[in-house]
Structure 1
Amino acid sequence: MSTAADPSYAPPSPAGEPLTEIGERVLWLSTAIIDAANRRGDPSGLKVGGHQASSASMVTIMTALWFEHLRAEDRVSVKPHASPVLHAINYLLGELDESYLPTLRAFGGLQSYPSRTKDPDPVDYSTGSVGIGATAPIWGALARRYVSARFDQDPAGDAGRPGRQYSLVGDAELDEGAVWEAILDPMVGELGEVVWIVDLNRQSLDRVVPNIGTPRIEGMFRAAGWQVLTVKYGRLLQELFARPGGDALRARIDGMPNPEYQRLLRCDAAEVRTRLPDVGPGSGGAGLAELVEGLDDATLLAAVRNLGGHDLTALREAFDEIDDSRPTVILAYTVKGHGLATAGHPQNHGSILNADQMATLADAVGADPDDPWRRFPADSAAGRLCAETARRLHREEPAPTPVPALPTDIGRTPSGRATTQAALGRALLDLTREAPDAAARVVTLCPDVSSSTNLGGWVNKVGVWSTAERKDWFDDDPETILHWRERPTGQHLELGIAEGNLVGALGELGATWSRWGEPVLPIGVLYDPFVERALEPWSFGMYAGGQSILVGTPSGVSLAPEGGAHQSVTTPSVGLERPGCVSYEPAFAIDVEWTLLASLARLGRPDGTSAYLRLSTRPVDQSLAAIPADPAARERRRRQVVAGAYPLRRAAGGSPDLTIAAMGPLLTEALTAADRLAEQGHAVDVVCVTSPGLLFDAVQARAGRPARAQAEPWILESAFPARRAAPLITLLDGHPHTLAFLAGINQVPATHLGVSRFGQSGDLASVYAHHGLDADAVVGAAADLL
């Protein structure tokens, strides 16, 4: 069978086989979904878009995978531009209502790229951000292994192996560095359930890739310990290779540059007969010419594009060869736009078939443009296969195990000098004693910075997670402080120095409550200067439903001797600007405990949110926190800390002359400046801000504008009561814009102090003076305001 939409189109298997019919219907439906979206148009005149060619290259692969090989316990990450193929398959399986098919990229309709939380049909992994969706199943496999080991879940299905985690990846996506960071992590080589299928269509958005370098890619995967399977040619070409002149034909195609091959796809039979038997060296000369001349036009055109990624038999053989003892990559050669009139065109990435081309395609695959969404009759062979597949892949939604109760206050009152960074490790250890069931759900992750971020005590207590128990050769060394005990019951994961990997795993661990019904409470700890590297994949994990805590430490210029290379300026506003996330910058150890417990309590639930904690290595006198001794007053302080701010010092008498709102370790400078101003006769209020994001949400909520569910408008009157409105100085170890909005709470004049330029190494006093963060700077700003 061939189609005038693509004269050289060959079906993926013999005509009449149910899977062939299904594949052709998936091709039609995925193409029609995009066509309907663009005929619908956008009143604003914006292009609706869609990717018919990128979808078409994946049709055979996804049809074979879903209708023959997937099991209910498997999960698949679908490359972003093939989302219409996923929706078409879900529709044929009864998982998507027909009313959604014309709604691609419409508000409330099918999303532009697969979305686990926003699409109406089953989506295993959200994709769309290059490299992140591709690597997500790696971290999904890791999370599945962790849940199975920690909570005695049996990950094996009917075949006695864990559900496979598939990634359907476009070859251009392999340019993304995050892909190779993930592949090279040592833990990944142990995840035999990971299977990648690369859609090797050798085209990017703008062009035919001159040299895809497949042997180099194969070598890189093999060097990382992966099984590499290459599916290059279909059964027609393999048959031709066995004929006289076949060796020359194979050598000619193998040696052909990608652009030359792609040009053949746009040729008629006469042009192919001229171009293919090139008379140059290595062309095979007369033998190849004789083979080509012996083929009829239809066979010749079909042979040119008879690649393995469009051949069911070749794909079946590859799927059967998967070795579950190590990760596998299948490099499947395909044609971008296979089966469409745009097949192989170098600018087909965003092209849309016209009405005549759609009609021709419909005629070729047995579809009806007037009834585009018609399903197979239930009693047909294809209809029965759809029903059987739907039954095989049906999943019962897991009933989530509730997170054990977490305390809101462990009850300690820190004393002496301490850092907020050290307080994190202390709070985690306290949790193991005060709430062991909840602590058992906590898992920490680090990119090789466990000891330098004060997690050593926690790691010694809970152990390091590993797929198998490993001997600690330093266990009997009396000078070893950090004990690296690796076992399947450990609660700490150590990854290599790649922030994307860290937050990728963090996101998938944060989604186990919805995937498998077992919530874990993941906390990722990394150096704050590198948080911004991690923001995109972490944000994408939150978009996909992952709930986690990210801890950045040490932060700001307060790490003084480290200098400008390790300063973090913009991170204080991360929570202010990050959907699905609440941020905290605690000033004191008790603030760390309270905000950490509140953040943990928001994880592992349908209405949950992630959190970002920005911590410091600066030792601070804990008596400055002035924690109330009265239990009711202490609880009021705790609620204020969690809601975003609390009054640390109120000037005696009536309204103050000045308010200083400070955050994190700079509360010390704020209090020192307040004392000096008081000596000059000025009444000063000092407010400790713990979460600028929550305060901004409170401002929005008070004004009746959209805000996060955690917004607490009462905190504004508690921390910044109108009756005490006064000129305002804001102070933080970060960019001053973070707290600038506070002046608008009571419409007061304000000066905003912070860091807005690269720093340098030095002692703390010198660095603070350099950036205008010290008490002198605060007093000087007060003089200007007063």
Structure 2
Amino acid sequence: MNQTADLPASRAAADGSGDLDVLREIERRVLWLSTAMIDHANRVRPNPTGLKVGGHQASSASMVSIMTSLWFESLTAADRVSVKPHASPVLHAVNYLLGELDRSYLTTLREFGGLQSYPSRTKDPDPADYSTGSVGIGATAPIWGALARRYVEAHFGGAGTGRQYSLLGDAELDEGACWEAVLDPQVAELGEVVWVVDFNRQSLDRVVPNMGGTRLQGMFAAAGWQVITVKYGRLLEDLFARPGGEALRARIDLMSNPEYQRLLRCDPGELRARLTGAAGTRGPGPDTGAIAALLDGVDDATLHAAVRNLGGHDLLALRQAFAEIDDTRPTVIFAYTVKGHGLASEGHPQNHSSLLTAGQLRELAERVGADPDRPWEQFPEGSPAARRCAETALRLRRTPPPAAEDHEVPADFGRTPHGTATTQAALGRTLFDLTRQAPAVGARVVTVSPDVTSSTNLGGWLNKVGVWATSERHNWFDDDAETILHWRERPTGQHIELGIAETNLVGLIGELGATWSRWGRPLLPIGVLYDPFVERALEPWSFGIYAGGQSILVGTPSGVTLGPEGGAHQSIKTPSIGIEQPGCVAYEPAFALDLEWCLLAALGRLGRPDGRSAYLRLSTRPVDQTLANVPADPAARELRRRQAVAGAYPLRRHERPAVTIAAMGALLTEALAAADRLDALGIGADVVCLTSPGLLFQAVRGRGGHGDAPTWILDSVFPAHRARPIVTVLDGHPHALAFLAGIHQVPGTHLGVTRFGQSGGIEDVYRYHGIDTDGIVAAALDLAD
């Protein structure tokens, strides 16, 4: 999006300045606009299908005061904010008042080509610093954004400073992703991170009975965070200061969430009765008299306002909270709110997706000073509110980022591996070679691992480039002769080690992969994890791709080839994931040179406006590299490279083929052995080495007019005149390659893994799943007959 301007803009919350009347006027207009947007999408805009449009008026209303205070008093141009998904209309309303959103879009919420359901950094027409929508993932994104900013600043400069705010609903704290992020050791050092929890104590269907703020506060404090609680507003605090006020405070503090929420739906008489314990589930207590005496001196209107005067709706209380932020450690602000605050539905336990009636909307318009017949009016020119909006817009204006710096990645290092090697080991070797043959490109590579660096063969790379840390740390094992992995932590390091939490890994590489668009400083992030856990990390990684983060995910080791590890560590479905993931090219190379070519191609696609992420599925199985039969002729070698990068290449052509064997990854060894045995039986077999079934599938769709993928690779590898019955085989679910038989409508048998794995040697495990050489030969004989 935009680059932060180097502005020393002071935070208004720090000096207590600001016209509260003007802020309250803006607050009311934001409430109206966000509510009216949702109403228009559901009640005004034509909907011929009758399908629910949706929107969240109540969830938006609970955030209005927080976002008004933050944007119109506290934010600077250097700050970035992640907005909770269901408050997207509030963000659009704020951007509209600041001149960042054209009026025409206000009627397009959830319409095709219009405002997205949830804030989207890449799809919305107005600024959104982070995409949100997947609960818990948007909340944690600013943590990884803070690390990415620090990394860029340490290595290349130009990323500036600024806080990283996350505005999240309290129900999001149910997500494990939040706590995995909070507990990572590096996070306690990120003083720019500020979470503001919209603590309305409601979820989608109910008031949550046991959502204890004290317990949550203790959890954050134990993780090293500053904890600020904004529970009551000025009106309630004034009541608490009167005689009997402490009794009233204790009465409210000890209420369960549902009991308190019920007060919001009471008329003044019932409200007095419930607060004194004379009604509801609680009988009269020892403090009943003191509370009753206090309330006798409070008129109905004041009591009605006071009971819903929580800190998250009090601009003075919020101002003070933002002023107390300690930038030396992460901060969480628990802002107590009422879901639906200011709406007719406020406090109702089922208000999550409710809509105001036409009459209720008109009543709201009258109360906030809006015109329902002209719902999108701005403040009058020259009015105090209009001036505050203009001043805020100027204060928050950012300098557009420079175009992303170019990085020309070499296509081929020119060497041909010999001997025996694994694709997993080739990963580390390729990265090491990159630092020597293309140092400018190598300097942009940053690897990330969830505590599996050595077991994924990144040790040599790590020893060369070092571990990244915000400051240099002493290596107490530097003089230990038996230490092989040299853990040198310093700001110039290029490897980031996280705790064992895959969601943190993909969250970080997503933000590292977005630096090209934030600051014009492209990084080439590579995250390495065990392939079985790609599924655990998939949703946040996919969401990171959706949000514009371009990265490479390496799953290794993979498949049942990891025989002794057993079923728990044997991935089955990941090849299919690679085919189906939007914005991603997936590779499963069989040979070290294929890995080099595919990795370099994947690196070349990162950090660009038209870039794409990649997924590499690698193996720990040692493979004889001479089986690759790499052409010695330069032109033939280049054709092989282009084919490998495009998805497949012919590894063996028989003079009189009767069958084609198409294999991927570690099973090329069995495929070639099967071809030899078939040849001895007088049955010729072509062998095709598959590197990316996803690219081949796109080519098939392109040939049929579905998409614009190039189709040359199909004619090059599967020419019509060599169309024969096909056996496909991979260390994964067989349906991932089943589409290949449809290229020329030939008979096919598809071998793979459809059951949970077993521990054992490769021979036993392959035989168990029918993907051994015998299984391939038998399938080919059936087709040839």
Distance 1:328 1:348, change over 3 A: same
Deviations 1:724-757 (A, max 9, x none): 0000000000000000000000100000000000
State how 1:5-84 maps to structure 2 within 5 Å: 17-39=21-43, 40-84=45-89
What's the CA shift for 1:261? 0.7
CA distance in 1, matches of 2:63, 2:264: 17
- TM-score by length of structure 1 reads 0.96
Corresponding position of 1:7: none
Q: Which residue of 1 aligns with 2:190?
A: 191
Q: Distance in 2 between matches of 1:216 and 1:61?
A: 23
1:334 aligns with 2:333: no
Q: How far apart, in 1, do the equivalents of 2:415 and 2:448 lie?
A: 26
Aligned residue in 1 for 2:755: 757
Distance 1:390 1:163 in 2: 17
Secondary structure at the aligned position of 2:560 is classed as helix
Residues of 1 paired with 2:351 and 2:412: CA distance? 60
Report the equivalent of 1:10.
none
SS at structure 1 position matched to 2:666? helix
Could you tell me which residue of structure 1 aligns to residue 140 of structure 2?
Answer: 135
CA distance in 2, matches of 1:395, 1:41: 37
- 1:462 corresponds to which letter in structure 2? V
Assess, with a 3 A threshold, how the Cα gap between structure 1 residues 14 and 319 changes in structure 2: closer, same or farther: closer
Shift of 1:405: 1.4
User: Structure 1 stretch 36-45 or stretch 286-295: which is displaced more?
Assistant: 36-45
Q: How does 1:330-369 map to 2 (within 5 A)?
A: 330-369=333-372
Q: Distance in 1 between matches of 2:584 and 2:58?
A: 37
Distance (whole Å) between structure 2 residues aligned to residue 281 and residue 737 of structure 1:
68
What is the RMSD computed on CA atoms of the aligned residues?
Answer: 1.2
1:736 alignment partner in structure 2 = 734
**1:75 partner letter:** R
- SS of 2:173's equivalent? helix
Matches within 5 A, 1:90-169: 90-153=95-158, 155=160, 162-169=161-168
- CA displacement, residues 265-313 of structure 1 (integer Å, 9 cap, x when unaligned): 0011111111111154656221110111111110000011110000011
Checking the alignment, whether the CA contact within 8 Å between 2:20 and 2:315 is kept in structure 1 is no
The residue type paired with residue 194 of structure 2 is: V
| Larger mean Cα displacement after TM superposition, 270-279 or 616-625 | 270-279
Q: CA deviation at 1:652?
A: 1.7
2:18 and 2:322 mapped to 1: Cα distance? 19
Q: 2:150 touches 2:159 (CA, 8 Å); kept in 1?
A: no
The equivalent of 2:256 in structure 1 is 257
Which residue does 1:783 correspond to in 2?
Answer: 781
More moved, 184-193 vs 555-564: 555-564
CA distance in 1, matches of 2:188, 2:446: 21
| 8 Å contact from structure 2 (residues 209, 257) kept in 1 | yes
Separation of aligned partners in 1, 2:591 and 2:66 = 55
In structure 2, what is the Cα distance between the partners aligned to 1:437 and 1:431?
Answer: 9
CA distance in 2: counterparts of 1:577 and 1:327, whole angstroms:
37
Deviations 1:14-37 (A, max 9, x none): 997111100000000000000000
Residues 134-189 of structure 1: CA distance to partner in whole angstroms, max 9, x if unpaired?
A: 0000000000010011113362xxxxxx2100000100110001100000000000
* Inter-partner Cα distance in structure 2 for 1:120 and 1:781: 54
Task: Report the equivalent of 2:207.
Answer: 208
TM-score scaled by length of structure 2: 0.96
Distance 1:735 1:273 in 2: 65
Q: Is 2:630 the partner of 1:627?
A: yes
- Equivalent position of 1:87 in the other structure: 92
Q: Compared with structure 1, are the counterparts of its residues 474 and 281 closer, same or farther at alpha carbon in structure 2 (3 Å cutoff)?
A: farther
Distance 2:672 2:159 in 1: 56
The offset of 1:459, in angstroms, is 0.1
Q: Is the 8 A contact 1:643 1:712 kept in 2?
A: no
CA offsets per residue over residues 207-242 of structure 1, 9 Å max, x none? 011121111100000000000000000000111111
Displacement of 1:41 in angstroms is 4.8
Secondary structure in 1 matching 2:370: coil
May I ask how many residue pairs the two structures share in their alignment? Answer: 763
- After superposition, residues 289-688 of structure 1 pair within 5 angstroms as 289-653=292-656, 656-688=657-689
* Distance apart, 1:403 and its partner CA: 3.3
AA paired with 1:718? Answer: S
Contact 1:550 1:611 (8 Å CA) reproduced: yes
Match of 1:9?
none
Checking the alignment, whether the CA contact within 8 Å between 1:252 and 1:282 is kept in structure 2 is no
Alpha-carbon contact 1:131-1:178 (below 8 Å) kept: yes
In the other structure, the counterpart of 2:14 is none
Alpha-carbon distance between aligned partners in 2 of 1:682 and 1:38, rounded to the nearest angstrom: 66
Stretch moving more, 35-44 or 133-142: 35-44
Q: Which amino acid aligns with 1:553?
A: T
- What is the CA–CA distance in structure 2 between the aligned matches of 1:441 and 1:650, rounded to whole Å? 40
Q: In 2, Cα distance between the equivalents of 1:439 and 1:301?
A: 64
Q: Distance in 1 between matches of 2:107 and 2:645?
A: 45
The answer to whether the 8 Å contact 1:252/1:283 transfers is no
In 2, the alpha carbon distance for the partners of 1:42 and 1:508 equals: 37
Cα distance in 1 for partners of 2:448, 2:257 equals: 43
Aligned equivalents of 2:635 and 2:765: distance in 1?
40
**Structure 1 match to 2:7:** none
Match of 1:242 in 2: 241
1:730 touches 1:752 (CA, 8 Å); kept in 2? Answer: yes
Gaps of 5+ in 2: 1-16
* Equivalent residue, structure 1, for 2:219: 220
Matching residue of 1:3: none
| SS of structure 2 residue aligned to 1:558 | coil
Deviation of 1:378 (Å): 2.2
SS state at 1:657 partner = strand
- Offset at 1:93? 0.3
The corresponding residue for 1:158 is none
Counterpart AA for 1:720: F
Identity percentage over the alignment?
Answer: 74
Deviation by residue 1:515-549 (Cα, 9 ceiling, x = unmatched): 11111000000000111000000000000000000
Task: For 2:409 and 2:165, locate their aligned partners in 1 and report how far apart those are by CA, in whole Å.
Answer: 36
Against the structure 1 CA distance between its residues 365 and 357, is the aligned structure 2 distance closer, same or farther, given a 3 Å change threshold?
Answer: same
User: Structure 2: which amino acid aligns with 1:582?
Assistant: V
Map Cα deviations across residues 539-573 of structure 1 (whole Å, 9 max, x no partner): 00000000000000000001111111100000012
Question: Gaps spanning 5+ residues in structure 1: where?
Answer: 1-12, 156-161
For the residues of structure 1 that align with 2:121 and 2:46, how far apart are their CA atoms? 25
In 2: Cα distance, 1:267 partner to 1:428 partner: 66
Aligned position for 1:705: 706
Please give the alpha-carbon distance, in whole angstroms, between the structure 1 residues aligned to 2:733 and 2:117: 35
Q: Is the 8 A contact 1:139 1:505 kept in 2?
A: yes
Seen in structure 2, the aligned counterparts of structure 1 residues 269 and 426 have a Cα distance that, compared at 3 Å, is same
**How far 1:400 moved relative to its partner?**
2.9
